[in-house]
Structure formats: C-alpha cells, structure tokens
Amino acid sequence: MTLETRNFIAGLWQEGATTVVNRNPSDLSDRIGHFAQADAAQLEVAVQAARHAQADWGATGPQKRHDVLMAIGTEMMTRAEEIGRLIAREEGKPVAEGKGEVYRAGQFFTYFAAEALRQLGQTADSVRPGIEIDVRREPVGVVAIISPWNFPVATPAWKIAPALAFGNAVIWKPANQTPASAVALAQIIANQDLPKGLFNLVMGAGRTVGQALAQSADVDAISFTGSVPVGRGIAASAIPNMTKLQLEMGSKNPMVILEDCDLDLAVVHATNAAFGGTGQKCTAASRLIVHERIHDAFVDKLMVAAQALQVGHALDKDTQIGPVVSAEQLSANLDYIECGKQEGAELLCGGTALDRATEGYFMAPAVFGATQNTMRINREEMFAPITCVIKVGDYDQALHIANDTDFGLTAGIMTRDLARATHFRRNARAGCVMVNLPTAGTDYHVPFGGRGASSYGPREQGRFAEEFYTTVKTSYIHSGVPA
C-alpha cells in the first residue's frame, strides 16, 4: 500500500493548507515525507460531515459494526511487521516494540468488534402500575480524538475502536511528530464500508486544529491523551459547550522495592519500566523507592543494567533503546539532567547525548541517586530515559512517598510479603497497581486510567469504555389495557 501524506476528510483524501516535514529521529537524513496540515475551514468540513454520517452509522445494526471492526483489526495484525517498521522509523522505538504496538492495536479493534454485539439494555417495572421501563445506551455523537506521539497507533486504536463500535463518528487529530503512522491506520479504516465522513483524519497544529476541536459546539465528546497543561486547556475550552471529556495526562509513577524482594527480578522490572520505549511512556517508573537494607546492592545492579542497554538506530536488530522523538525532547531531557545535579542529586550513570553512525537524538539512560521526593526531578513528568532512586527506612515511609505526588496513574511494588503486597494494592493512590511486575504494561480488556492530575473523566478500555462513548436513555412505556 502506498503511504498517503494527505488528510482524510468527508470520505476523500485531501491536501492541506500547508505541510510539515517528517524525519527519522534515528537518522535525520531520512525524510519520511511532507504531510498535510489542515486549516480551520477543512476542520469544519470534517465536523459537519461527521455529524451527517453519524446518524446513518448510529442506526446501523451491531453485526455491521462488528464486521467492520474485525476487518480493521485483522488487517492491522496481519501487517504488524510492515507498520511496526514504519513506527520505528518515525517515532524511534525499536522495531520489535513497534510491531508489538501494531498487533496490540489490532486486538483493540477485534475486542471492540465483539463488544458491538454485546450492547444489551435493561428493563424494569415502574413503581407506578402499568408502566414498563427500558434502559439502553445510545451513541454520544461526534467524538474528537486527540492522540500523542509515543504510541502513535495503539493509543488512537483504543479510542477509535470503541467510538465506532458504539455508533459514533470520529474526528482524529494525531500528533504532528508521527503523521506517517496516523496515515497508515487511517488508510486501513478508510478502506472499510463506512458512511462518508464517519471517520476523519485531520492532521494539524494543536493551536489551530486542536483548539478548534475543543471549542466546537458540534463536537459531542473529546478523548485526549497528552500533557497536563494541554489537557487543562482543552477542558477550559470545551466546558462552555458542556462537551463530554476524557483526559489521560501526566504521571510520576513509583515502584517500591522492599528488602524481601527477589533483587534480580526487581532490577529487571525496574530497568524495563524505567527505560522501555526510551522512557517515553506515561506508565514509566521514574521514581524507584528502595528500602535501605538493599539500596546499595540494588543501585549497583541497576547501574550495570542501564549501562548495558544498547542505544542505537530503531531499525537495528540489536537496539534495545532507540532515540528520543525530537530535538526538543532531547533538549528538555538534558535540561532535567542539569536540574537534578543542581538540586543535589547524584548522577550515577548516563544522562548524556550520544553519537552514533547516523545523526539522531540518542541519549544514554540515566540513573539519579541520593534524590528526595521534593526535587523537581521527582515531582514533574520528564518523559525521558531518566529514573530517580529514593532511599527509605521502612514500608510505611515507602507508601507515603509513593502517594506523595500530584499524579496517580500506575504504581508498583516488589516484595515476597503477601500482607504488604495486599496493603499496597489497596492503599496506593493510583488507577493501576502492579505487584512484582513493571509499572508499564496493561491489558486491553480491562479499564485503564488514573487519579489526580493523571486522568479526568471515565476510564478507557474494556467494557468501561462504554461509559464515555455512549449516553444512557431511560424510557417509560404505558401500553394501556388490551382491547
């Protein structure tokens, strides 16, 4: 399939008002293409087309929706290698991770294909005689989806799939750093038998397309994944229209490592959670809270593991850590390294830009020691291959520090003690808690989301997705007395 570079609006591939160039962060000489940027007028065409098409799709039976989503998911899984390489080339994650992301994105579609057939309502008798009650869910309407660059296919998939499964129209604004991946997914969806305008890909800058979506009175719901400041801005713009909101934002995930844990397993999981995806995951473990009895041994092993990671071109089969996504991201990461030093943290390893055979945004995974939970590097989401070790004296202190954050997405604990594992699972203030596992890594059939500044609105994924993508209607019926 030839890769498009245009927007998909009202059933047609269309040029944009302007274009942006897309380059490979592993090799800046590799230009992937110039991709269309929509203007406000094109966005309005997409919104109106979506409103018109949604009425037809909302009236479509569940079998049709099931068949369409199954076809999308099956094709994505079949093409996981091809599109995974495109993600690696464009976003910078190693190709094996890119392939896994595409396959998982396909599973989101096949899962919600089945959910399309499970849309069952409820009936009840009224407290008033002779009246029956029917409760059912209906599509919310036109859904705007604003997705990030770090999972350029999986994150939009877990939003688009339930939106379509429950009868909605979609306007998707992907991140400008990963337009090629967005177009690849859009092509698969566009090839299905859908009403024209039901699905729209509108690439463009956040200050134009994103802002206009947030302010539109013709958008019924917005599902956003990204930073806290942008999420709050979307909420402020959308609330005058009472637009339904689902916001997944920042994190500062703790992993508690207790003295009775399997030390080698803890190091493996901490390394995975902190540096997988170049640390560019909302579920990354950026605060490692370690009991003083094993602190030194853990830190020594963690440094060895971090320094052993192979940093290189995302398409190289030996690469374990690819580049960060952009020059701006690399600059921000290095600024945090300097910030940590100035705050008094000890840079134990990494934290420098790396030269490789090709020009790219490579960085050595960094471990900070001697950190305090009050430091900026432990308060702010860095979205970088940087993790910070905090020494604690006991479990109670570890739990307190784990919960001492504005965020609450994921939290993890490494321990053999069932009582402490259970207590942590019940008392960690996070939406997802992992016991003897990395903080990163979630399943598609169960709810995902956090608390505090991490999330706002209904949960994503699994059957919980219907809370956002549908609205409940209660009907009262008085049929009278048979003649």
The rounded distance, in Å, linking the Cα atoms of 45 and 201 is 12
How far apart, in Å, are the Cα atoms of 14 and each of 49, 101, 432?
A: 14, 28, 41
The rounded distance, in Å, linking the Cα atoms of 302 and 296 is 10
Residues annotated as catalytic (active site), given as ranges:
248, 282
Q: How many CB atoms lie within 10 A of CB 364?
A: 17
Residues 6+ apart with CB under 8 A from 40: 208, 209, 212
| Element spanning 165, H or E | helix 154-165
Backbone φ and ψ for 355, nearest 5 degrees, come out as -95, 135
Tokens of 463: 């059957």
- Amino acid identity of residue 106, one-letter, is G
Tally the C-alpha atoms within 13 A of residue 190's C-alpha that lie toward its C-beta: 23
Tokens of 407: 């965020």
How far apart, in Å, are the Cα atoms of 135 and each of 31, 279, 475, 478?
A: 53, 44, 6, 15
The rounded distance, in Å, linking the Cα atoms of 88 and 313 is 9
The position carrying tokens 């392939």 is 99
- First-to-final CA distance of the chain: 64
Cβ 6 vs Cβ 13: under 8 Å: yes
How does DSSP assign 321-352, residue by residue? B---S-HHHHHHHHHHHHHHHHHT-EEEE--S
